[in-house]
Structure 1
Amino acid sequence: MVRNTLVAYIGFGFYKASDLTTIEIVKSVSIKGPKEEVFNNVRYLKNFPKWSPFLAADPAQKYEVKGTDGTVGAQYHWDGNGGKDMGFQEITKIDELKFVGMKCDIQKPFTAKPTFDYYFTETSNGIEVKQVFRVKSDLVSAFFMWIFGVKSDMEKMNQKGLDLMKKSVEIKN
């Protein structure tokens, strides 16, 4: 009986995990401030510490910008949680005041290669920043993401970053 229940749970888990092999999370925030300032918070990686939800969670995190900041190829490297979190993000595309694309290379605590696309639009409520996060994983990794509720955590973390960006810009204006 216990064995059948365990097999059924694992089978159900892999069925649910198949929905997590490709994750796309779309979050947005409206920021009252100059479009150039909002855009430059993303474009210039030196500004990421102002709104990084990861740095907020781990203030001792070490980070470094490599390459020419604000240009395609610039990288933001991080090493946090006493060496347990490590990776970098790299700017892959810039469309002035409209779009910044980034790819990440997460090396610890797991390996992943997500992308972040940021879109900037003027609205009556301010500058809308839309973040589109995408990550692909194999079925086994997706199974563990399902078990631990990782997608929900990612959604919260991504929104927290946008909310911190909003706060950092609006506090000045």
Structure 2
Amino acid sequence: MFKKIAIGAVAGLALFAGFVATRPDTFTVTRSATVPGSPDIAFGLVNDFHQWNQWSPWEGLDPDMKRTFGGAESGVGATYAWTGNDDVGQGQMTIEEASVNASIRVKLEFIKPFASTSITTFAFKPADTGTTVHWTMTGDHNFISKAMCLFMDMDQVVGKDFEKGLASLKTAAQAEATKRAEAEAKASVAAPTP
């Protein structure tokens, strides 16, 4: 009896492992939103890791999170490392490419709760009502992440965070656009007329 149960369990595990192995080797999560203002506003909020506290959906998950900024002040070579609770884990981001007001490529490396590396890209395109921001993350699945995705939908889980982040980016971009408009109005009033 025990032998039959053991053979059945091994066969079940083998079938499960075989099924997991057939799952996609890569993943892509993408969301987009139109934010107020010209592309330089949204680009500036993403290209400078010091600005991420205004819009990143993960910034508020651990009030005691430790942050370390390194490399360039912003743009290519800028780094942002964090260590926090179970909600945020530990990892680092590095800006690898930045095309002014057009696109940014970020290497995202998680250390905890499990090691993984992904590429995150942001694309900024002028729109009638501001700037359309496309936020995309791509990466590779190992066996464990393939198995996890049988029980949770990566697009839904990460996609919700992207949606929250883009909504906050919209608020931050609106604040910056308003600030600039007010500064321009004051400057035009203060400027002497010829």
TM-score, length-scaled by structure 2 = 0.77
* Structure 1 runs (4+) greater than 3 angstroms displaced: 2-20, 148-151
Cα distance in 2 for partners of 1:162, 1:22 equals 24
2:164 counterpart letter in structure 1: K
Aligned residue for 1:61?
A: 65
Answer with 1 or 2: which has the greater Rg: 2
Equivalent residues of 2:37, 2:174 under 8 A apart? yes
Q: Tell me the matched-pair count.
A: 173
User: Mapping of 1:18-167 within 5 angstroms?
Assistant: 18-81=22-85, 85-167=89-171
2:32 counterpart letter in structure 1: S
TM-superposed deviation, 1:141: 2.2
- CA-based RMSD of the aligned residues comes to 2.7
Gaps of 5+ in 2: 179-194
Secondary structure of residue in 1 paired with 2:150 = helix
TM-superposed deviation, 1:106: 0.4
User: Mapping of 1:5-24 within 5 angstroms?
Assistant: 11=15, 15=19, 18-24=22-28
Q: Deviations over 1:20-76 (max 9, x none)?
A: 431101111100123212110111111111111111222322212111121311101
Cα distance in 1 for partners of 2:9, 2:49 equals 49
Judged with a 3 Å threshold, the aligned counterparts in structure 2 of structure 1 residues 13 and 92 are, in CA distance, closer, same or farther, namely same
Cα distance in 2 for partners of 1:21, 1:108 equals 21
Judged with a 3 Å threshold, the aligned counterparts in structure 2 of structure 1 residues 108 and 6 are, in CA distance, closer, same or farther, namely same
Q: Deviations over 1:63-107 (max 9, x none)?
A: 121111213111011111179710000000011110110011100
TM-superposed deviation, 1:145: 2.9
Compare 10-19 and 59-68 and name the one that shifted more.
Answer: 10-19
Q: Deviations over 1:102-137 (max 9, x none)?
A: 011100011110111110000112100101110112
Judged with a 3 Å threshold, the aligned counterparts in structure 2 of structure 1 residues 51 and 8 are, in CA distance, closer, same or farther, namely same
